[in-house]
Amino acid sequence: MPDDVKATDATALVTLDEFNALRRDLADGLAALADVARPLAARFAGINARLDALERRSAGVTIETQGAEISIPGALELAGAVRSIESTLRAPIVTEFDAKGRVKGARRAIEGAASASTIAALEARVAAIEARPTVRYEGTWKASTGYTPGAMVTDHGCTWIAKRATVTRPGSDPESWTLTAKGR
């Protein structure tokens, strides 16, 4: 079919060259859209995986020791962050076009859509939550053992949690230990 043959419909006359140019622009636009969406999807997948790990680590964590309850700080904050990311990931993607109708990018179709600074702030919050110590019981306090933040020990009938790395005896240094359950 010659290049100057025109196809007609009710709205426009287009040459084969124009049609092929439009097809190339569309293919380029779709490739650009994929290039925009792929790193965002990978970034959200990474954040989601980190949040899943945190949720498993702290979901419903309440430790009862001799009638006292200890809750892990940030559990509600973490649940809110997970819900926010889930709603963002489920929102449809809207394609943005330039003045010539070519694809210039994509964004999530939600109010208050996450900007790069919002995503960076969320990643910083996740990192801060990940850095919080996990409470783990390490038995009876021993003088020869060094304890890290989150270590739970018993000493003289009381239960203590280390606030920082320490080798001191619980009760002797209030900056290092928190009494969580008092014994007899």
Looking up residue 143, the CATH number of its domain turns out to be 2.10.10.20
Which two three-digit tokens encode residue 60? 């419903």
Residue 12 has pLDDT above 60, yes or no: no
Same domain? For 124 and 142 the reply is no
Residues in CB range of 96: below 8 A, 6 or more apart: 103, 104, 105, 106, 107
Over residues 79-98, the mean pLDDT reads 69
User: What's the one-letter identity of residue 154?
Assistant: T
Same domain? For 97 and 168 the reply is no
pLDDT band at 68 (very low <50, low <70, confident <90, very high): very low
Domain that holds residue 70: 13-132
Same domain? For 26 and 69 the reply is yes
Same domain? For 143 and 92 the reply is no
Same domain? For 47 and 117 the reply is yes
Over residues 124-143, the mean pLDDT reads 84
- State pLDDT tens for residues 24-34: 877 777 777 77
Same domain? For 45 and 26 the reply is yes
Same domain? For 57 and 94 the reply is yes
